[in-house]
């Protein structure tokens, strides 16, 4: 028999990392068992915060990071930065449908550049934006907080939305990851997984759990996440 369990992947958000030693932080969290580097890009226009751009992504690649980098673009307009993040070495590039004048074209720009493409849905954004572009989507990311800042609480209604997104993905028969971002913690990740998510962004829950006694600083919290997922 084959193992039918989901391929759960954990994507720590570097928004909560110590930027004075970002390369070391990313090295540590990956060595502790993380799968993906989640990269939050905010423009103080589409969302009320200003964070990091493609030069930081490129710097992590030059530092030696080979793990997938998931660039979540909270910017408007989005098309120009798509090209910049392709050049910077992103693996996934996801954006909000509200930030693109032509969603199909933006998705195709990402794929034409050799990256995996995804759409991001704010808590009140309907999943109907997926209706005509499932063939161009490699990831669906549901925000379980309103985007802009780390450390917010999980919005419970996202669980029903996750179930609907999972139904759509399964019905499509396509290999599409279902990611969740916002308020993911050790004590709720199993419930989130049971609702259909297979990829989990966690920022403050990971980086605020830094433990100097751990060989790679984050071994304990990553082990706690894995244990919780094993019960999903």
If DSSP codes are grouped into helix, strand and coil, which group holds residue 121?
strand
| Alpha carbon 176 to its chain's center | 13
- Binding site annotation covers 118? no
- Binding site annotation covers 183? yes
Question: Rounded CA gap, 97 and 129, in Å?
Answer: 7
Give the residue from 183, 186, 100 showing the smallest Cα distance to 142.
Answer: 183
- Binding site annotation covers 27? no
- Binding site annotation covers 114? no
- Binding site annotation covers 72? yes
Active site residue 214: no
Give the residue from 9, 7, 12 showing the smallest Cα distance to 201.
Answer: 12
- Binding site annotation covers 151? yes
Please identify which of the residues 27, 28, 40, 138 carries the catalytic annotation: 40
Please identify which of the residues 43, 138, 181, 198 carries the catalytic annotation: 181
- Binding site annotation covers 148? yes
Give the residue from 209, 122, 193, 121 showing the smallest Cα distance to 130.
Answer: 121
- Binding site annotation covers 40? yes
Q: Is the distance from CB of 205 to CB of 186 less than 8 angstroms? A: yes
Active site residue 181: yes
- Binding site annotation covers 220? no
* Binding-site residue positions for substrate: 13, 72, 148-151, 181-183, 203-204
* Binding-site residue positions for a divalent metal cation: 38, 40, 72, 181
* Binding-site residue positions: 13, 38, 40, 72, 148-151, 181-183, 203-204
Residues noted as catalytic: 40, 181
């Amino acid at each position: 028999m084959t193992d039918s369990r989901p391929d759960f992947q954990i994507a720590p958000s570097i928004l909560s990392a110590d930027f004075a030693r970002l390369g070391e932080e990313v090295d540590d969290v990956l060595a502790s068992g993380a799968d993906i580097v989640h990269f939050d890009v905010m423009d103080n226009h589409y969302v009320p915060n200003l964070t990091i751009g493609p030069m930081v992504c490129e710097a992590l690649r030059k530092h030696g990071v080979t793990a997938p980098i998931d660039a979540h673009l909270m910017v408007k307009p989005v098309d120009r930065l798509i090209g910049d993040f392709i050049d910077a070495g992103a693996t996934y590039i996801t954006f909000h449908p509200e930030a693109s004048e032509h969603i199909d074209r933006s998705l195709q720009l990402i794929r034409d550049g050799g990256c995996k493409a995804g759409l991001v849905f704010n808590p009140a954004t309907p999943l109907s934006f997926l209706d005509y572009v499932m063939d161009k989507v490699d990831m669906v990311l549901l925000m379980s907080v309103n985007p802009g800042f780390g450390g917010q609480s999980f919005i419970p209604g996202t669980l029903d939305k996750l179930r609907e997104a999972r139904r759509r993905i399964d019905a499509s028969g396509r290999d599409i990851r279902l990611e969740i971002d916002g308020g993911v913690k050790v004590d709720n990740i199993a419930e989130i997984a049971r609702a259909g998510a297979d990829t989990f962004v966690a920022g403050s829950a990971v980086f605020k759990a830094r433990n100097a006694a751990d060989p790679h600083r984050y071994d304990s919290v990553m082990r706690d996440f894995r244990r919780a997922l094993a019960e999903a």
